[in-house]
Chain A
Amino acid sequence: MFPIPLTHLQRLEAESIHLMQEVVAEAERPVMMYSIGKDSAVMLHVARKAFYPAPPPFPLLHVDTTWKFRDMYAMRENAAKQAGMELLVWQNPDAKAQGINPFDHGSALHTDMWKTQGLKQALDHYGFDVAFGGARRDEEKSRAKERMLSFRSVGHRWDPKVQRPELWHLYNGLKSPGESIRAFPLSNWTELDIWQYILLEDIPIVPLYFAKERPVVERSGTLIMVDDDRMRLHQGEKPMMKKVRFRTLGCYPLSGAVESTAETLTDIIQEMLLTRTSERQGRMIDHDQSASMEKKKQEGYF
């Protein structure tokens, strides 16, 4: 008998599948958060492999802000259909009634209302006890300290000081009344792992990740794409066509594009490996203050 070495991606995939099967075996009503980005695409793909030939035994949930790129909405419908899964879309009715948008209300309030509050409403509304999320530990400092199974109190708060110890690959998925769980199967993946896995497994992703001529405006050093006519142009501002792509995707008025010529996956990976800025840099919501992600997470953000 000869040993057959596993690549680190095979190990990461096995670890993620293991967590998903543990969660589904112990949960009452699990759901998978689906944000349409590359991490969600990988998480969904791993879930399909975990439960094949059955479809993953839980629905997908998209907490929608109504301000995503049009390409993302197209991707969303397709992905759910391909996987044979039910897709639930939640739009915070309060945010809708108040017409919350990034232009009038700023990124902080916009994100809190549509995403943090919306997520909590959706989880409570459907009674989900475990929600899978695609967060990775290499993304941000407070994420590096989060467990694979992250417990939230009533009100979905995260308390980093009372996390359950996680030893070996033993996960304790038992809950006290009122508690819920966020499960992060991709915790130990890095950005490079994600891209390489997409390449190897041929996983479809939103075309916005690839460079293309797109209409953008420049605002305080960041390129913002004019994705639809809700975009408010400043006086004298005129969209210009630039060859750009996105490293992370969110609400289009809050997602910074980078100028790029990367048209293929290998181009993207090459560009990423040579770049000097992190992927979250294009994300406006982390920069409000240096501990802002931790604060958001304590308030119930993913």
Chain B
Amino acid sequence: MAHVSDLIAGDIAEYLKQHENKTLLRFITCGSVDDGKSTLIGRLLYDSKMLFDDQLAAMEADSKRWGTQGGGIDFALLVDGLAAEREQGITIDVAYRFFSTDQRKFIVADTPGHEQYTRNMITGASTADVAVILIDARLGILTQTRRHSFLVSLIGIKQIVLAINKMDLVEFDQARFDAIEEEYRAFAAQIGLQDITAIPLSALGGDNMISRSERTPWYQGPTLMAYLETCEVDATHLQMLPMRLPVQWVNRPNLDFRGFSGVLTSGQLRPGDRIRIQPSGKETTVKRLVTMKGDLDVAVAGQSVTVTLADEVDVSRGNVFSAADAPAEVADQFECHIVWMAEQPMFVGRPYRLKIGAQLVNVNITALKHKVNVNTLEHVAATELTLNEIAVCNISLDRAVAFEPYAVNREMGGFILIDRQTEQTVGAGMLHFALRRSQNIHQQRFDVDMAARAAQKGQAPVVLWFTGLSGAGKSTIANHVERQLFAMGRHSYLLDGDNVRHGLNRDLGFTDADRVENIRRVSEVARLMIDSGLIVLTAFISPFRAERIQAKQTIGEGNFYEIYIDTPLAVAEQRDVKGLYKKARSGQLKNFTGIDSPYEVPAAPSLTVYTENETAEQSAAKVVAFLKAKGIV
């Protein structure tokens, strides 16, 4: 790693001291497929002498095999690391590169330009200070350029390098450069980007990369490297904000020690400081800042620390320590931006997990206010969000959390969304502000409650949630069960899919988004009914696991019984009581469960009823026997 400094050979101790105190700049490069992004990074590594001879040898060999530069060194091969990428000549995933100069240490997130990989760009940008946006001088500003710039502004990067590359292919024409810069500045102003430095480059030829090019005598600004080495990195401004420390880990090796560990996301912390534990709101005083190398007098934003407290107060992972005189806001409903990153679309009403800081909570998307067309910046109405789309949404958490608006503090206002079945990260979001309604709508308390109403009826109010394919026999079996309950003197109500769609849910169709809303409404109605003391039977296909989990949560786990009517598709289709399968098969009916829309079989139902070889009466008898065994009737 031949760093250029003469100090290395002369005075290594002095060099190390300097190196230790270098600042760190994290930046991302973004551009379209053939803008020369990989070449630019390869060139930076090459010219800052960060390449070893054996790496160069491997690159030369690779250039002969895969290269696009006719046997010359193809710098792109240095960064296109995966074999699949080399075969296709594209970049698949975010790659992180490291280099340093006498001035600074750098981490580059190299993010792919293809439309389908927007999520990678957001990933790479989330920790970056500066964005280098590449433009092919021949092509000018493309849709991709606008998309990347919007994402960069959304993620909160303020400093932009507009790298106008391939200037050699337009004869280093100043007029061309000026026109692109002017057009870009006009666009950037619309999305709030102001700090823009445009540089004419040829990454391949090395023009204005490290040293000033003789071929652009008209250009007076910095070279790319000069900009990166000198641009401002305001690493300490977070220390000036009020102290926040999300508690990650409770350290309790024995009865004598109880410490709370985490990274300060802002401010400074000293022994003796008054802190508030959020969301509980209790206050206490910091006793010690414990480290293996002795106690600290002060810890600052970006530092990991173990704190002990003066009082025995209740603290668990996910709580936030805040400066007592300037605590964070606490809320459970927010407006936010969401970037969707999964193949499966996001639906309003569907439950997800949300991770913010060290907190994992359940969340519901309560409203999709509008999508943002990232190419035109237009606001578009929508009911679902698909891969790489961005929207402004309202969300509702199942408990209150301490937060900061994303614009104030990325670490306290950024969150990820996690799918409840696959546990995959499916989205990312940025909190704007808390919705006041969560503070202004209070629950009224009444003297006659569910227990009283149920006691009056002498029964246990529960929801029997029948799920299964169309034609499985849900309504028929539920009907028989209700007749028996009625005969036993029980108070009940049967909510049926077809019937509800004639009234309450008349406005809903059969798209996935509407199915989700259909079940959400039915869950709420069922909840009101058991609150009134009834035994509720619901007969809905309810094909998605996520909504059945949501129904269970809405209704309450202890009152919810999922009954899976298991009828093979072939049997249901053969019965075809309503003639719907025939229509679906002939294409007259779209989004039909089992045909062109999926049915997700329950993972752990309370009861499974196999109907293939029994009558509806026999199946109903099994349900009633189950209720008796559970002590419900």
The interface of chain A, by Cβ under 8 A from chain B, is: 1, 3-11, 13-14, 17-18, 21-22, 24-25, 48-55, 137-138, 140-142, 144-145, 160-161, 163-170, 172, 174-176, 187-188, 190-192, 196, 199-200, 266-267, 269-270, 272-278, 280-281, 290-291, 294-295
Contact = CB atoms under 8 A, between A and B. Distances in A.
A176 B423 contact: yes
A8 B253 CA distance: 30
Q: Which of B19, B53, B122, B304 has the most CB of A within 10 A?
A: B304
A290 B62 contact: yes
Interface string B107-126: 10000000000011011001
A1 B98 contact: no
B81 A145 contact: yes
Interface in B32-61: 52-55, 58, 61
A142 B82 contact: yes
B304 A168 contact: no
A267 B425 CA distance: 45
Contact of A4 (B9, B97, B261, B300): B300
Contacts of A8: 20, 22-24, 105
A229 to B, nearest CB: 32
A144 B248 contact: no
Given A51-B249, A174-B418, A290-B62, 17 more contacts: A1-B239, A22-B248, A22-B358, A50-B304, A141-B78, A160-B82, A165-B341, A170-B415, A172-B424, A172-B425, A196-B16, A273-B1, A273-B12, A277-B53, A280-B54, A290-B58, A291-B82
B261 A172 contact: no
A286 to B, nearest CB: 9
Interface residues of B, number: 88
Interface stretch (B130-138, B166-174, B290-298, B515-523): B290-298
A276 B52 contact: yes
Contact of B236 (A5, A13, A272): A5
B482 to A, nearest CB: 37
B83 interface: yes
B61 A290 contact: yes
Given A3-B240, A167-B126, A272-B1, A11 B302 contact: yes
B302 A6 contact: yes
B300 A3 contact: yes
B569 interface: no
Contacts of B126: 167-168
Contacts of A21: 248-249, 261-262, 304
Interface stretch (B88-96, B145-153, B274-282, B327-335): B88-96
26 contacts: A3-B239, A9-B20, A18-B263, A48-B292, A53-B253, A144-B96, A145-B95, A164-B424, A165-B416, A169-B127, A170-B414, A170-B415, A170-B416, A172-B355, A188-B98, A190-B98, A191-B1, A196-B16, A196-B20, A273-B8, A275-B1, A276-B53, A291-B82, A291-B83, A291-B86, A294-B83
A144 B291 CA distance: 31
Nearest to B341: A165
B399 interface: no
B8 A166 contact: no
Contacts of B236: 3-5
Contact of B81 (A25, A55, A294): A294
B235 A161 contact: no
Contacts of A145: 81-82, 92-95
Contacts of A22: 248, 358
Contacts of B293: 49
B582 interface: no
B590 to A, nearest CB: 30
B72 to A, nearest CB: 18
B21 interface: yes
B252 to A, nearest CB: 8
A54 B292 contact: no
B423 A174 contact: yes
Contact of B353 (A174, A188, A272): A174
B446 interface: no
A123 to B, nearest CB: 19
Interface in B403-428: 410-411, 414-416, 418, 422-425, 428
